[in-house]
Amino acid sequence: MAQIVINNLRKEFGSFTAVQSSSFTIEDGEFFMLLGPSGCGKTTTLRMIAGLELPTSGQILLDGEDVAQTRASARDIAFVFQMFALYPHMNVRKNISYPLVSQGMARKDVRCKVEEVAQILDIGNILDRPVGGLSSGDRQRVALGRAIVRQPKAFLMDEPLGALDAEFRERMAEELRALHDRMGATTVYVTHDQLEAMQMGDKIVVMNHGVVEQFGTPQNIYDWPATMFVADFIGSPPMNFLHFDGELKPGTGSVRLNDVDVAIPVQAGEAGGKLALGVRPEHVVIDETSPMRGNVLATEYLGTSQIISVATQSGNLKVRAPSSQIVAVDSQVGLSFKQGALTIFDTQTGKAVLSEANREVLANG
């Protein structure tokens, strides 16, 4: 098992830059998520760690050793493909034992190892079946088996649940996480599904257009997004933005949105001009005493909670409220925000302005 340090990693395909100077650290034993929309460079980053693409520049330190330009076969890293990529001309047993055969392991030991892995993954009964007729869940398990059988330094997974049915995904996600906890193996996992990333990851890197937007624990990323992209990409519904013009100085504790004062965490940074107040739907409260007024556009019932869409003078926002709260469409409501949970963004740069509340999180990211 190993620590993986990514240092200024860059990949260009001709004139197209797929990954721009990314840096982050994956600690030993971590379940690490690479999250982002399609084409953001997350898969390219993963393939560079695996050695399937060679970076244009930068370092990949595997336990302190730079492997950026090393052949894939020499890195001792396992890869689980989205489409499984089981060798179709071999049966399950052969597929799983293939990486061991390449190491020249004795036949008896190979057999032993395969049986052991088959037991962990509960696929002992299909070992001698051809891979062609397997269900997608079993194929996924075989692909995992092929990865774990040789106890590599790290597992890389490229959207391994992407090809599964929705119903099965949930179960496989749990199994994966349990398997990881049991093996304690460093795992790098690529996904575009923010829920999956939050649910399974110890740490998340959010990427967009080849740039690392933020890097941290799921909770830190959710609570204190570093950029408007992260705020918008994570969370369902995403963070609300209320646009306003203003000036922020270190020490500022409130902003003025269309003649309404809103208390915000004490600012630590400076910003001016076009700004946006970011607030998660669950941090907005329907509060008739508040001077901030809005017109209810719609409500969506979600069982225990409901999403209320409100039009205010500063823009539309969504409120997550208990479903017991009765709000009539087209009525006027007052809105207040939980002061400690607000983030101000500079809309020119898209970056969050440092405050006493998010400074600790963003300083590390």
Partner 1 sequence: MSSFSVTEPSKGQKWFAGIVVVVYALITLMPLVWIIATGFKSPADAIAYPPKVIYEPTLEGYVNLFTTRTRMTPEALEDIGPPQTWYDRIVRQYDMVISGPSRYGERFLNSVIIGFGSTFLSIFLGTLAAYAFSRYRVPLKDDLMFFILSTRMMPPIAVAIPIFLMFRQLGLSDTHLGMILLYTAVNLSLSVWLLKGFIDEIPIEYEEAALIDGYTRFQAFYKVVLPQATTGIASTAIFCLIFSWNEYAFAVLLTSGTAQTAPPFIPTIIGVGKDWPAVAAGTTLFLVPVMVFTILLRKHLLRGITFGAVRK
104: region left, alpha or beta (phi > 0 left; psi from -120 to 50 alpha): left
- Site for partner 1 contains 73 (CB under 8 A): yes
Output the six-digit token pair for 104: 């020249």
Among 1, 85, 183, 263, binds partner 1 (CB under 8 A): 85
Q: Are 267 and 248 in contact (CB under 8 A)?
A: yes
**What is the length of the chain?**
365
Contact track, partner 1, 157-176, x by CB under 8 A: ------x-------------
| Region from 44-52, 172-180, 334-342, 346-354 binding partner 1, contact rule CB under 8 A | 44-52
Among 48, 77, 117, 242, binds partner 1 (CB under 8 A): 77
- Site for partner 1 contains 71 (CB under 8 A): yes
Shortest distance (Å) from residue 89 CB to partner 1: 4
Output the six-digit token pair for 40: 């953001």
Shortest distance (Å) from residue 73 CB to partner 1: 5
Among 65, 69, 83, 338, binds partner 1 (CB under 8 A): 83
| Region from 48-56, 217-225, 277-285, 329-337 binding partner 1, contact rule CB under 8 A | 48-56
Shortest distance (Å) from residue 181 CB to partner 1: 23
- Site for partner 1 contains 105 (CB under 8 A): no
Shortest distance (Å) from residue 217 CB to partner 1: 29
Which is nearer to partner 1, 98 or 347 (by Cβ)? 98
Interaction residues for partner 1, span 132-151 (CB under 8 A): 132-133, 136, 139, 146, 150
Residues whose CB is less than 8 angstroms from the CB of residue 198 and which lie 6 or more positions away in sequence, other chains included: 204, 218, 222, 234
